[in-house]
Amino acid sequence: MSADFLDAARDLTGFDARRVRSGDAVLVLGTEGVGVRTLVEACRSLAADLDFRARDTAESADRPAPGVAVIVVDPSSSVGEEEKRLLDGARARVGTVALVCSRIDAFWEWPRVVRAHRKSLDPFGTLPVFGVSAAAALGGAADESGVDELISWIRQALDAPATVRDARARVSAGIGAVEHLLCPEAPAAADGDGLDDLLARRRELLAGRDRGRPDRLAALRAGLARARAQSAADLTAGVRELSALAADSAPGTRHREWLQQRWSELSTRLQRATDERIDEVSATTLVGLDPEPAARPPWTETPLPADGAARRRRTGAEDALLVVIGASTGLGVGRLVVAPMASVQTLQWISMPLTLLLGVAVAAWIIRVRRGALDRAGRAARDAEQLAAARAALDHQLGLRVAAAETAIAGQIGRAYERRARRVDEQVARIDESVRRLRGGAVAGRERQRAERARAVHRDLTALVDRMWTDPVGGNDSGDDDGNR
């Protein structure tokens, strides 16, 4: 029975599915960055007896004797022509194919994304779909990762007898060829009025071509403004705290080195925090779009300004006045201390030298204390000026960083929607071509007859492969022992 259906599919598509043979290996395909090798490691950890082959490009289809092919997609990006080529090649080469969405633990909206991916890759819904988390499986949570269900399906496919596996693979490959024939006419028109469904599908595509773009841009601007405000607040608080610490620190030659080190630590911490906030906004804004990895430019160093000659405290009338005040205060204190000694006749001769000594000592102490206070005040003023200049420079860098991030992320959004618009335009062009064929008279009649025949063959093949999976022995009425002729 299946031989008749495969012959009908070959007459329609030109693809001879009876040349497909099934082996014992498992072929894992996917574009770069979707986690193919991580998934293979997780599968090997749960099923070490199976032969998993990880390849990231379509050339892996040249490897002989695969029995099952797995196409890995990522919920963080959209699917395009490369994924479609991988799927078409796997269905033509292997036959038995499944779609697997990886990293479901990191994207809580993965069911919606998977539905959109399946609508692009498997519009007729004939392929099994699995959602897995390879990280959870490698971390010990295999029963919650979805990888165990994928392994169970693979074992079910590979444990069947060789004749059953070959029959399933050939029928599945034939289904893929027929679907490829029907796809340009839009699957939405497979059942129904045809022309009306095509026009409805066209309106739906055009309405969703630019959907979500204004919301993403608004979320980007709001998120970066919040990140800029948080960084500015952290900078203000950090500079205030550092100024207080600098005022309380002990004077010395290493004060400048200490202040420079603390400022470097503060600026590095703020730069890292700003980059993390930008990454959070970027991840939130670009979810569901194609990632564009780009190297982030390094930060420019913002050291404290150097002390110049004009920063030194000037000596002059102020120091002279300080000496006079200290001397007068010292003499007054000295006289006050030795005044009781003047009434003693024998101690009168020592009162004057003692007054002078005490006056000089008190004057020196006062001058030293006063000069220390002036030095601390001058140092605090210099630190405040240096921190203010460095803060202004760092704040300017933070603003430039956020502005550059907004430009880059907005550019990624624009390019992603341009790619989506091109894909939609291609689909609309195919739909328009189908509409013209349907409205083209006799040519349209032949095309409709061919499409109806293809849909009938597709229904027969789909029903046959369902019976092969539910009843491997009874449903395998292949009748294609001469599959290599």
Tens digits of residue pLDDT in 418-439: 888 888 888 888 888 877 776 6
Domain annotation covers residue 258:
yes
Phi (first) and psi of residue 163, to 5 degrees: -65, -40
What one-letter code names the amino acid at 437? R
Strands (E), 116-220: 129-131
Residue 316: band (very low, low, confident or very high) from pLDDT cuts 50, 70, 90: low
Percent of the chain with pLDDT over 90: 4
Q: Distance between CA atoms of 93 and 73, rounded to whole angstroms?
A: 19
Give the domain-ending residue among 404, 422, 440. Answer: 422
Task: Give buried/exposed letters for 290-303 (b at 16+ CB in 10 A, else e).
Answer: beeeeeeeebeebe
Same domain assignment for residues 176 and 222: no
Domain annotation covers residue 460:
no
Average pLDDT over residues 131-144: 83
Q: What is the reported pLDDT for 273? A: 92
Burial class (CB in 10 A: 0-12, 13-18, 19+), 334: buried
What one-letter code names the amino acid at 369? V
Same domain assignment for residues 68 and 129: yes
Q: Are 117 and 76 in contact (CB under 8 A)?
A: no
Q: What is the mean pLDDT of the chain?
A: 76
Which of the pair, 183 or 154, is modelled with greater confidence?
154
pLDDT of 176 strictly over 80: no
pLDDT in tens, 385-425: 888 888 888 889 899 999 988 998 888 888 888 888 888 88
Written as six digits, the tokens of 352 are 């004057």
Strands (E), 227-326: none
Same domain assignment for residues 170 and 249: no
Domain annotation covers residue 467:
no
Q: Is 288 left (phi over 0), alpha (psi -120 to 50) or beta?
A: left
Same domain assignment for residues 155 and 233: no
β-sheet bridge partners, residue 29:
71
Q: Distance between CA atoms of 4 and 334, rounded to whole angstroms?
A: 127
Domain annotation covers residue 208:
no
Same domain assignment for residues 181 and 234: no
Domain annotation covers residue 450:
no
Q: What is the reported pLDDT for 3? A: 66
pLDDT in tens, 258-285: 778 888 888 889 989 999 999 888 888 8
**The total number of structural domains that make up the chain:** 2
Q: Distance between CA atoms of 39 and 23, rounded to whole angstroms?
A: 21
Four-residue CA torsion sign, 324, 329, 332, 335 = negative
What is the DSSP secondary-structure string of 305-345? PPP-GGGSPPPSHHHHHHHHHHHHHHHHHHHHHHGGGGGSG
User: Cα angle at 467 between 464 and 471, to 5 degrees?
Assistant: 145
Same domain assignment for residues 80 and 180: yes
Same domain assignment for residues 268 and 413: yes
Q: Are 102 and 79 in contact (CB under 8 A)?
A: no
pLDDT of 228 strictly over 80: yes
At 5 the three-state DSSP class reads helix
Containing structural domain, residue 65: 2-185
Same domain assignment for residues 304 and 343: yes
Q: What is the reported pLDDT for 257? A: 78
Domain annotation covers residue 393:
yes
Q: What is the reported pLDDT for 222? A: 92
Domain annotation covers residue 205:
no
Task: Give buried/exposed letters for 58-91 (b at 16+ CB in 10 A, else e).
Answer: bebbeeeebbbbbbbbbbbbbbbeebeebbbbbb
Phi (first) and psi of residue 477, to 5 degrees: -90, 70
pLDDT of 290 strictly over 80: no
Q: Are 102 and 34 in contact (CB under 8 A)?
A: yes
Neighbours of 333 (CB within 10 A): 18
Same domain assignment for residues 405 and 267: yes
Same domain assignment for residues 269 and 332: yes
β-sheet bridge partners, residue 69:
27, 97
pLDDT of 369 strictly over 70: yes
Same domain assignment for residues 400 and 350: yes
Task: State the CATH number of the domain containing residue 18.
Answer: 3.40.50.300
Same domain assignment for residues 218 and 178: no
Domain annotation covers residue 331:
yes
Q: Distance between CA atoms of 146 and 103, rounded to whole angstroms?
A: 11
Strands (E), 102-146: 129-131
